[in-house]
Amino acid sequence: QVQVVESGGGSVQAGGSLRLSCVASGSTNSKRYMGWFRQAPGKEREGVASIYTRSGNTYYADSVKGRFTISQDSAKNTLYLQMNSLKPEDTAMYYCAAGPHYKYYGMLDSRSFDYWGQGTQVTVSS
């Protein structure tokens, strides 16, 4: 089993920055993929950024490329999402997720991820 706990959300003005953190326990094979997803009210959950933990390869949604950076600190079992140049449309609940080695539907596809945190709210005001 993997336990996932996010932190770091909050309220910020447009153009500002936030850094989200996610601590994920469990075996390495259970965390082959790590990612950040978000869901705004009335919208479907969407993949924001993910990382293949073995290689460190990263993947981003077009809407956040150049503004968000995903990174990992394996020694601390921690995943980060640095969010810069935030826009009001980035407002959402952000979820951290971990995916096992035996599932793959795409690096930004929620079906690749089995373990989810409870989410942290990010609100960007104009």
Name all contacts of 74-78 with Cβ < 8 Å and 24+ positions apart.
76/23, 77/23, 77/24, 77/25, 78/21, 78/22, 78/23, 78/24
The mean of the pLDDT values for the chain is 95
Instruction: Give residue 1's pLDDT band: very low, low, confident or very high (50, 70, 90).
Output: confident
Q: Which two tokens stand for residue 70?
A: 């995903």
Q: Which one, of 17, 112, 11, lies nearest residue 59 by Cα? A: 112
Contact (CB, 8 A) for 22 and 34: yes
Contact (CB, 8 A) for 34 and 25: no
Q: Is the pLDDT of residue 19 over 90?
A: yes
> Percent of the chain having pLDDT more than 90?
89
Q: Is the pLDDT of residue 23 over 90?
A: yes
Q: Is the pLDDT of residue 28 over 90?
A: no
pLDDT given for residue 121 in this prediction: 98
pLDDT given for residue 104 in this prediction: 85
pLDDT given for residue 71 in this prediction: 98
Q: Is the pLDDT of residue 29 over 90?
A: no
pLDDT, one tens digit per residue, over 55-113 is 999 999 999 999 999 999 999 999 999 999 999 999 999 999 999 988 889 999 999 99
